[in-house]
Amino acid sequence: SLVEAPALPATELADSCYKLMFSGCTSLSEAPALPAKELAKNCYYEMFKGCISLEKAPALPATKLAKGCYNSMFEGCTSLKDTPVLPATELADSCYYSMFSGCTSLVEAPALPATELADSCYIGMFSGCTSLSAPPALPAEKLAEDCYAAMFKGCTSLTEAPALPATKLVYGCYWAMFQGCTSLEEAPALPATELANSCYKLMFSGCTSLVEAPALPATE
């Protein structure tokens, strides 16, 4: 059984270069360093998916992202407790898609400093993280299609929601964002006055502890 990964010193990546590289390596306990600061399309796609013994993620210093770069990178890593710093402030389409989905031991989310989003950038990022109790701040006021879709879906320990300051919404932006968050007791304020198709669809579906609904001041 593979318990230690080989060194991966490359700083210039190519599309899908590490795709599925260690997927299903259930005994792998330590990840290699990943020093690249500029990523490529799908470069880390499902790289450690199903590595159930991995407890710590490697540092991810990249500030220039690419489409799908972290897609499902740690999906199903049920022992993962610590997340790396994610310093990028300019995002790419689907860049964090399902990155930590199913990481049931994850208790804290990394900071997400971006103020301008990309299509599907955070879709499903923490879905099924049943130990996550607090969300990261989400300061973006300019949204993108499906940007927060299913982001915290099934986070059954989540007791609070982040502030959502955007006033102009886009297609699917909050779709199923908190679906199945059974410990969520209070919804965030929703100040948007310009809505879009499916923007709030299933947003709080199955939130059985939610006792009060937010005001909906939309005029269009």
**Which token pair is 103?**
């990481």
**Which token pair is 1?**
């059984």
Candidates 65, 35, 57, 61; CA nearest to 103 is 57
Instruction: Count the helix, strand and coil residues of the chain and give each as a percent rounded to the nearest 5.
Output: 0, 5, 95
**Checking phi first, is residue 123 left (phi over 0); if not, alpha (psi -120 to 50) or beta?**
beta
Which residues face 30 on adjacent strands? 4
Residue range 142-170: mean pLDDT, rounded: 97
**Which token pair is 4?**
């230690």
Question: pLDDT tens digits for 114-145?
Answer: 999 999 999 999 999 999 999 999 999 999 99
Q: Would you place residue 31 in the very low, low, confident or very high pLDDT band (cuts 50, 70, 90)? A: very high
